[in-house]
């Protein structure tokens, strides 16, 4: 029971820290502010973190762990490499739209981490991108896509989601599902998938 409570507190600390890092910026956020947001004394934070930098690493690590977990679930989709790529794209785009604040922290505060912690996050990002690249390369080898440069295609896909995180609003002109279909169509067209539009429009495609 105690470990469950401690786990819940640790998650609450990361959640409140993420909000403050987004609103104020990492440098302007103090551990006293984080503790107050969770209803703890500053000293109690050190039961869960080693330092403010460690807290930022926890926040950014949790973001990447969640994204990698969703990616693995998407990879279990049945079908060929393009089917799997579409599933991965769906979770990639949805995550960036629905968790835009955390994405913003990940994109802007990497420089705030010390070198060893930065390497941990960069390693997780590389792992995530390598999986997308593997699907693109597999699609090319199977004759399902025309691959100019697999890594550059990955950078394009990553940029699309980062772009969504900067402007998507739930009450906007297009629904998230519509936006995801458009970006997925763009990605598949860039890969010159012959039946790109038909695949995206197929029921259950996302």
Residues 131 and 124: beta-carbon distance below 8 Å: no
Is the confidence at residue 202, as pLDDT, over 60? yes
Tell me which residue of 23, 22, 42 sits closest to 32, measured CA to CA: 42
Average pLDDT over residues 139-153: 97
Residues 106 and 26: beta-carbon distance below 8 Å: no
Average pLDDT over residues 100-113: 91
At residue 5 the predicted structure's pLDDT band, cuts being 50, 70 and 90, is very low
Percent of the chain with pLDDT over 90: 83
Average pLDDT over residues 92-114: 93
In this structure, of 47-61, 80-94, 175-189, the range with the lowest mean pLDDT score is: 47-61
Question: What integer pLDDT is reported at residue 10 of this predicted model?
Answer: 86
Question: What integer pLDDT is reported at residue 4 of this predicted model?
Answer: 40
Is the confidence at residue 186, as pLDDT, over 60? yes
In this structure, of 8-17, 142-151, 190-199, the range with the lowest mean pLDDT score is: 8-17
pTM listed for this prediction: 0.87
Residues 197 and 182: beta-carbon distance below 8 Å: no
Is the confidence at residue 6, as pLDDT, over 70? no
Average pLDDT over residues 141-163: 95
Residues 119 and 111: beta-carbon distance below 8 Å: no
Q: What is the distance between the alpha carbons of residues 140 and 134, in angstroms, rounded to a whole number? A: 10
Average pLDDT over residues 148-169: 94
Question: What integer pLDDT is reported at residue 11 of this predicted model?
Answer: 86
Residue 159's H or E segment, with its range, is: helix 150-167
Average pLDDT over residues 78-86: 96
Question: What integer pLDDT is reported at residue 7 of this predicted model?
Answer: 57
Each residue of 7-40: pLDDT tens digit?
Answer: 578 889 999 999 999 999 999 999 999 999 999 9
DSSP assignment of 23-43: HH-TTT--HHHHHHHHT--HH
Is the confidence at residue 1, as pLDDT, over 70? no
């Amino acid at each position: 029971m105690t470990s469950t409570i401690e786990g819940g507190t640790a998650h609450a600390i990361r959640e409140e820290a993420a909000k403050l890092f987004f609103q104020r910026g990492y440098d302007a956020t103090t551990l006293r502010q984080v503790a107050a947001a969770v209803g703890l004394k500053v000293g109690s934070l050190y039961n869960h973190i080693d330092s403010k930098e460690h807290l930022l690493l926890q926040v950014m690590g949790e973001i990447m762990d969640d994204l990698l977990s969703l990616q693995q679930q998407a990879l279990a989709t049945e079908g060929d490499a393009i089917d799997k790529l579409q599933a991965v794209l769906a979770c990639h785009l949805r995550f960036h739209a629905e968790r835009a604040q955390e994405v913003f922290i990940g994109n802007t505060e990497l420089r705030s981490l010390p070198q060893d912690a930065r390497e941990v996050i960069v390693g997780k990002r590389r792992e995530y991108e390598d999986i997308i690249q593997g699907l693109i390369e597999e699609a090319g080898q199977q004759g399902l896509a025309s691959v100019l440069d697999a890594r550059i295609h990955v950078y394009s896909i990553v940029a699309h989601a980062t772009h969504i995180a900067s402007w998507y609003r739930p009450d906007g002109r297009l629904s998230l599902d519509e936006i995801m279909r458009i970006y997925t169509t763009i990605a598949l067209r860039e890969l010159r998938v012959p039946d790109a539009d038909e695949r995206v429009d197929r029921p259950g495609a996302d």
